[in-house]
Amino acid sequence: MWRYLVRRLIAAIVVLVGVSFVVFLVLHLTPGDPAQVLLGPRATPDELVRLRQELGLDRPVLIQYARWASHVLRGDFGRSIMQHRAVLPEIIRRFSATLILTAGGVMLAFPLGTLGGIVAAARQGTLVDRLTTTAAMLGVSMPAFWVGLLLIITFSVHLGWLPGTGMYSPTGSGGLTDLLVHLILPATTLALVPLSIISRLTRSSMLDVIGEDYIRTARAKGLSDRAVIGKHAFRNILVAMATVFGLQAGFLLAGAVYVETVFSWPGIGFMMVNAILTRDFPLVQGGVLLVAATYVLINLGTDLLYAYVDPRIRYG
């Protein structure tokens, strides 16, 4: 187990280095000269050459990457071009807002999706099953940004029950209640697609398991439906569920980009979209790197979770 853990950790680090290089390279190949942007259109050629030297832009790409990477490792993500502030505190502040939103989505999507899938599978072919399956089909086909707008139109504009923008009321106390009230609509929007996917996958893996011999045995020895589904079958779909949860957690984190834009949620996705439109690359770089690192960690966690939920999996 320990050897496996170490191997997976090393692999994760290799992937992260690769990710950081891709991010650096992609943005480095962008047309447009940062020195020109910083100095403005009236800069003289001499000034441009000097600033490029100062910023190290005249060095080979690999050297530039190494410099940037060594700064990043020391927690220095550079300074935002538009906001003239350090990138790191900004992306951490924004990222925590995104994590709150993602957590809200996870808390809705995971339990409800699992429950929906199990109920549909246990009652296969009944009205409940058909309703759940249809709802899930509609759910996966709905664009999140559209659902968000519909929720705002219904619950904020027409009914006036819930706020449709921001994380706190501008005049409010900024307490937990205020946050939760603001979280309801965006978290629901974010949860919709993963909820549907999870319920579909739970249903199909449950149906696979229900066909197995040991389930028939459990039924034959007189166990209640609840015990058969809840104990015997459920434990055996956990491995499949771990994969789905890992994938969907990453999906939620990424899907937050649209939801944050619709609801003006001050998260990292909303920040990155604006940073791209204003060509503020240090901010984009830092943001992408932070989210990608979290994503790699989630995947690593999923792999380790396998070994925990399924005692049959042993790694040398």
Residues 16-45 that bind another protein (CB under 8 A): 16, 18-19, 22-23, 26-27, 29-31
Residue 113 as a binder of another protein (CB under 8 A): the answer is no
> Judged by CB under 8 A, which stretch of 96-104, 151-159, 180-188, 212-220 contacts another protein?
151-159
User: Given the complex with another protein, which of 218 and 246 has the nearer CB atom?
Assistant: 246
Site string for another protein, 83-112 (x = CB under 8 A): ------------------------------
Helix/strand/coil (H, E, C) string of 206-256? HHHHHCCHHHHHHHHCCCCHHHHHHHHHHHHHHHHHHHHHHHHHHHHHHHH
Number of H helices, E strands in the chain: 13, 0
User: Given the complex with another protein, which of 116 and 282 has the nearer CB atom?
Assistant: 282
Phi, psi at residue 79, to the nearest 5°? -120, 145
- Other Cβ atoms closer than 10 A to 143: 11
**Smallest distance from another protein to CB 177, Å:** 25
- DSSP secondary structure letter of residue 155: I
DSSP sequence for 86-100: BHHHHHHHHHHHHHH
User: Given the complex with another protein, which of 245 and 251 has the nearer CB atom?
Assistant: 251
User: Given the complex with another protein, which of 9 and 138 has the nearer CB atom?
Assistant: 138
Site string for another protein, 276-315 (x = CB under 8 A): xx---x--x---x--xx--xx--x----------------
User: Given the complex with another protein, which of 89 and 143 has the nearer CB atom?
Assistant: 143
Place of tokens 């990292």: 268
Structure tokens at 138: 């509609």
Instruction: State how far the Cα of 28 lies from the Cα of 65, in Å rounded to an integer.
Output: 9
Instruction: State how far the Cα of 209 lies from the Cα of 235, in Å rounded to an integer.
Output: 10
Residues 176-235 that bind another protein (CB under 8 A): 204
* Cβ-contact 264, 148 below 8 angstroms: no
**Smallest distance from another protein to CB 223, Å:** 27
The contact set with another protein (CB under 8 A) reads 14-16, 18-19, 22-23, 26-27, 29-31, 137-138, 140-146, 149-150, 152-153, 157, 204, 250-251, 253-255, 257-258, 261-262, 269, 272-273, 276-277, 281, 284, 288, 291-292, 295-296, 299
